[in-house]
Amino acid sequence: MLLHAQREAELEAARAIKARRISDCITRLNNHFYRSWEAVMSFKQNWERNHRIDLSFRKEFGPIKENYKELIELTDDQKAVQGNITASMNQVDEADRIVAEAARDVEAGKIEEVLATHPAKMARLKQIFRTCMSHEITIFAQHEKDVADSSHARQAELRHQIGIYAILAVLFSILFSAAIAAFVVKRITSRIGIVNDNAFRLGADQPLHPPMKGNDEIAQLDNMFHRMAEEIQETARMKEDMVNMLTHDLRTPLTSIQGCFTMLDEGMLGTLNDRGESMIKLADRNSLRMMNLINDLLDVQKIKSGMMTIEAEDVELSTVFKEVRLNFEDWMKEHDLKMEVEETDLTVKADQEKLSRVLYNLVGNAFKFSPKGATIKMSAKQVGAVAHVSVVDQGRGIPKEAQRTIFERFQQVKNDGESKGGSGLGLAICQMIVELHGGKIWVESEPGKGSTFTFTLPISGRIT
């Protein structure tokens, strides 16, 4: 009985779906008719304004005829309705012939004849479109009335029957569902857990679980994930190979070029005039800048691939501060800048060469973005078991929105729409080196009030 009621309900639902398809078909027909009528109405105005005949609306007749064919199929059990559809189709054929005749006249260059007969043809097209749309409304109303009259009472009866039978079916389905729920849930959750674990493994650069077997959605998702992981790994390998190739192929000739510049600058290849010496110094600075960029790219690649190691030892921060200050002595004199170094007796556990590089990058940025006469400060203080090392400048500051991305590769802060040059890798390298030491780095800044870059290193002990 339940199956019979369900079949009856399915029939009623099919009739409702059929009514919806007819409604949608009629809506599409009306849209095509309206667009065609708008084009017909603007036919003469387009010629008067632009001297252009636009008959592109002819393409609407194809979809109109297709929709009529669909209506005939949907109303095959209603001969009276099909009579209206046939009458409308004949009207559309006439409209198509009128437009086709106008198109042939336009192609033959009979523009004046087309414009002369335009009022009469437009009146006929208007009558055809109104007639067709009236027929469509009649079809829709008649069909909807038939569905409503024939199915309302029957659907109420079927709902009552299905309600009774459903109660019995629910009781049985509860028992059956309880029997298979544990198995299904366990199987699904375990398979989803494998996909989730694969995501973590991919992020940690660990081998993935073997691909799942089967054609279900989870297996398809897992197989797609494996293909994506392979593509990501292949892209990473290609990227690494390309960086290695470019840096090696650029580094070798640059070394030779820098050697030539050094020989020219020292007069080993003859005496240069003032302009020649100036050009040599400019070329030497730019080649050095390119060499630094190549070295930065190599360092980033080494860190990302795990090839850069930290040789930690006890390092006196005061010694590193003095070395950094000494490296910037000429720069400070040339650009009228000052540096203050606070005395400290802290000793940290770090790789001295890489620590110097971090400070060199931070101080170099501070000088680069500070105005003449500004003072750069280096300091360190102990906070718990770590040392906070800070570099403070008097530059224009960093906007808050830029502070979130400033440590990413190839990111630079622009002042007045201009950057200060550089590769955009310095701060990224600083962050990577600090993190290799187990520390962290951050910036505190407000526009117009300078910036403070701070990073942490593990304390080794105090100098006594």
CB contact at 8 A, 63 and 28 = yes
- Parallel, antiparallel or unpaired: strands 375-383 and 441-445: unpaired
For the segment 201-221, the average pLDDT, to the nearest whole number, is: 80
CB contact at 8 A, 146 and 12 = no
CB contact at 8 A, 420 and 369 = yes
- Parallel, antiparallel or unpaired: strands 375-383 and 346-350: unpaired
Q: pLDDT tens-digit profile of 66-101?
A: 877 887 787 777 777 777 777 777 877 877 787 777
Closest CA to 60 of 39, 88, 84, 85: 39
| pLDDT of res. 434 | 94
According to DSSP, residue 56 is labeled G
Q: Is the predicted pLDDT of residue 464 greater than 50, yes or no?
A: no
What DSSP assignment string belongs to 353-422? HHHHHHHHHHHHHHHHTSPTT-EEEEEEEEETTEEEEEEE--SS---HHHHTTTTSTT----BTTB---S
C-alpha pair distances (Å), 315 with each of 150, 331, 364, 439? 93, 26, 21, 15
pTM of the model: 0.46
Residue 149 pLDDT level (bands cut at 50, 70, 90):
low
Lowest-confidence pick of 20-24, 108-112, 240-244, 384-388: 240-244
Q: pLDDT tens-digit profile of 180-200?
A: 776 666 777 787 788 788 787
Q: Is the predicted pLDDT of residue 6 greater than 70, yes or no?
A: no
Residue with tokens 């005939």: 72
Amino acid, res. 18: K
Residue with tokens 């820098």: 258
CB contact at 8 A, 347 and 460 = yes
Q: Is the predicted pLDDT of residue 452 greater than 60, yes or no?
A: yes
| pLDDT of res. 320 | 93
- Parallel, antiparallel or unpaired: strands 313-316 and 338-341: unpaired
Domains of the chain listed by start with CATH number: 1-170 (1.20.120), 217-305 (1.10.287), 313-458 (3.30.565.10)
CB contact at 8 A, 363 and 328 = yes
As a 3-state breakdown, the chain gives helix, strand, coil percent values, each rounded to 5, of 70, 10, 20
| pLDDT of res. 390 | 95
How far is Cα 357 from Cα 360, in angstroms, rounded to an integer? Answer: 5
| pLDDT of res. 177 | 73
For the segment 46-59, the average pLDDT, to the nearest whole number, is: 63
Supply 364's token pair: 């170099």
How far is Cα 348 from Cα 458, in angstroms, rounded to an integer? Answer: 6
> What are the two backbone dihedrals, phi and then psi, of residue 78, each rounded to the nearest 5 degrees?
-130, 90
Give SS3 for 252.
helix
How many of the other CB atoms lie within 10 Å of CB of 201? 14
- Residue 335 Cα to chain centre, angstroms: 43
Average pLDDT over the chain, rounded to whole? 77
